[in-house]
Structure formats: C-alpha cells, structure tokens
Structure 1
Amino acid sequence: MRDLKEFNIPFIGLKQGSHLFEYEIDNKFFEAFNFEEFHNSKINISLDFVKKSSLFELTFSAKGVVNVDCDTSLEPYDQEIDGSFSMIVKFGSEYNDDNDEILIIPHEDYQINVGQFIYELIILSVPSKKVHPKVLDGTMDSEALKKLKELQIGNENPIEKEETIDPRWDKLKDLRITEKNT
C-alpha cells in the first residue's frame, strides 16, 4: 500500500474540540490497497475528529454505492453501503493497534493517517454474501441461475427417479420383517 497523503490529519495544529473531515472515495482509493473486487465505487466518508487534551475521538461514517458481482448470478449490481465506526487515539511509548477500538500512537507523532481505517470501514460495510436484488425478488433471468435450478437437489422428476433405481434394491422390498413376541 502506498502512502495516502490526502488522508493525513496533522493534529498538532488543531484546536481542542470537534473537527469535521469529509472524503469522496472512488476506485482509485482501492487501487492503493490492491483491492479489485469493486467495478466502480462512490462513497462519501464523514470523519468527526474530536481533539481533547490527552486523546482523540474519531467517528467515521460511510454512505455510498459500490458496484460488485452477485455471488449467485455473477451479474454486476450496485450495492448500497452504510456504516460507521468509532475509535479512540491515545498517546504511548510506541505504536499499538492490537485493540480495534483504541489506537496508541507515539508521543512524537504529529499526524495520523486515517486511510486504513476508511478502507476497513468500507470493506466491512459490504455484505459478506452479495446477492443481486433481482435474484431476491425472482425477476433475474441469467444462464447461471438456470443452470443452478437444473442442478438443484430435489428438483428431480419422480418418474425418472423410479427408473434409475437399481433392480437389486427392488428385491429388498419383497422381504418382510415380522416381530416375534418374547
């Protein structure tokens, strides 16, 4: 990942209080992370950066659309995303991002790059199973869906099913088990 300088926030010159940063994200942003699953993207990020005397509170909000392939039909569609994420940034002796909600940066740092946090927010806001809306409402007409219906278990014709039974198993139907009273 190359350095995304436009996502650097030089906090050393900021006054205490709330500051709003806004970013427009497109596919060029994802190229920096070598992420190529989105055909197109247009996402607005809003970052509420609250500077306090000994820490920062960051609240990220993402709203927009990414064009992705449906996992079922492989057809591209626009997936709306809407997500938010909050974290606290504290100062310490060395960088530590072991906790998802608390980031510790060295005392000598004078800026923070929020690009990685924006990337993670967007990726986690996209559903893990991406399904085209037309697949959900049953109006999708694609070759992939037709093939899936053909291969679906339980879609067999009962007449064909009887014809495919091995005749050796039919002999077992003739056996009757009788219970003995003891």
Structure 2
Amino acid sequence: METSKLTFELQEIPDGKSERDVSLSEGDLELDDEITLKEGNVHVNFFRTNHFIEVDFTVDVDTELICDRSLKPFVRHLNGSYHVLFEPDNVEDTESEKGAVRQIPPEDLVLDIEKEVRDTIMLEIPVRKIHPDYLDSEGNPEDFETKHYGPEPDEDEMIDPRWAELKKLKNT
C-alpha cells in the first residue's frame, strides 16, 4: 500500500514541537479536473503532548488553472495555512475556515493531512480564474472588447421603432 507524502506515523512525531517540510510535485495531490498541482511545498509544525497532537501547516504551491475567458492554461501561485487538532479521545469532528478538530482513531497509527492540504489549496483558488494576459497592471480584469461582425447598422436601424414614434409625438 502506497502512503501519501502527507501521512505521518505517530511514533515518528516526537513530544513537544517539531516540524517537517514536504515537497509536492505533479501527481502527488489530486485537485480537480481543471486544476493541476505543478509543484510546491508544505511546511508542517507539530506540537505533541500526551493528550493531543496539534498540526499547523502552510501550503506554498504552483497550480495550473484554465482561464474562464479564453480557456488557455496558466500557472498561478497559491499559499494558505490551516490548523488541525488531533485528539485520541472520543470527539466530534468539527471544521471551520481556519481549523479543525479530528479524532485519532485508536486503530490508526498515522496522521493523514492530505484532505486538509487539498482543501486549503482549493479554497485559495480564485472564483474567477483569469489568465494574466487579461489583467491590467493592478491585477484587475480588463474589459472585453466587443466585435461586431457583418455590415454596420445605420442609425435608423439602431433606434427602436417605438422610440421613433414617441419622438414624433414629442416634436408635434
């Protein structure tokens, strides 16, 4: 059985503070059909006591996204952090935007934070994925250029006939 790079054996986590750096490459983490992890780093801080294991991690990754406007792929740098408290006692799993509380199942001898890392990356992806070619110098999306195909309509065709009738009434 292949274990994830983000799975840590409990006996290898020392008491007190410790930290690990995990390098991720393409294929290490399944994100989404339109989002691909290119490479990145996860810095994990552990704090272990007899009663709990606290895990803080920071994600610093490059992802390949598909532009919503042009469908061109582009690389976007993302970073985020999350906090998870693992307890051996019977606790109800809770989750918020900044952290979670999880139970360490008694039969498990590992901590797996792959789901939390994946979710942290996914939450950092912008709602509108715009290729850098379509952003101005301040990072705001540029306006669309509208193109009209075919002959240019003359002014009489552009005016709604109902407005034309109202203009006639106004002039009389």
Q: Distance in 1 between matches of 2:12 and 2:70?
A: 51
Note the residue ranges of structure 1 that are not aligned, 5 or more in a row: 139-144, 177-182
- 2:164 corresponds, among 152, 159, 170, to 170
Structure 1 residues 166 and 125: CA distance shift in structure 2, 3 A:
closer
Question: Taking structure 2 as the reference length, what is the TM-score of the superposition?
Answer: 0.75
- Where in structure 2 are there 5+ consecutive unaligned residues? none
Shift of 1:137: 2.2
Q: Figure out how many residues of one structure are paired with residues of the other and give that number.
A: 160
Aligned residue identity for 2:111: I
Q: What is the TM-score when the length of structure 1 is the normalising length?
A: 0.71
Task: Give the CA deviation at 1:105.
Answer: 2.5
Determine the structure 1 residue equivalent to 2:20: 21
CA drift at 1:39? 4.6
**Aligned pair in 2 of structure 1 residues 161, 121: CA closer, same or farther (>3 Å)?**
farther
Distance (whole Å) between structure 1 residues aligned to residue 70 and residue 155 of structure 2 = 28
CA distance in 2, matches of 1:163, 1:5: 65
Could you say which structure has the larger radius of gyration? 1
The alpha carbon displacement at 1:61 in A equals 0.7
Question: Counterpart in 2 of 1:141?
Answer: none
1:131 positional shift: 1.6
Q: Percent identity?
A: 22
Q: Residue 149 and residue 55 in structure 1: after superposition, are their counterparts in 2 closer, same or farther (change >3 A)?
A: same
Q: Per the alignment, do residues 21 and 162 of structure 1 end up closer, same or farther by CA in structure 2, a change over 3 Å counting?
A: farther
Q: Which residue of structure 1 aligns with residue 135 of structure 2?
A: 136
1:85 and 1:121 in contact (8 A); partners too: yes
Task: Indicate how the Cα distance of structure 1 residues 168 and 112 shifts in structure 2: closer, same or farther if over 3 A, else same.
Answer: closer
Give the number of the structure whose residues are more often helix, by fraction: 1
Q: Which residue of 2 aligns with 1:142?
A: none
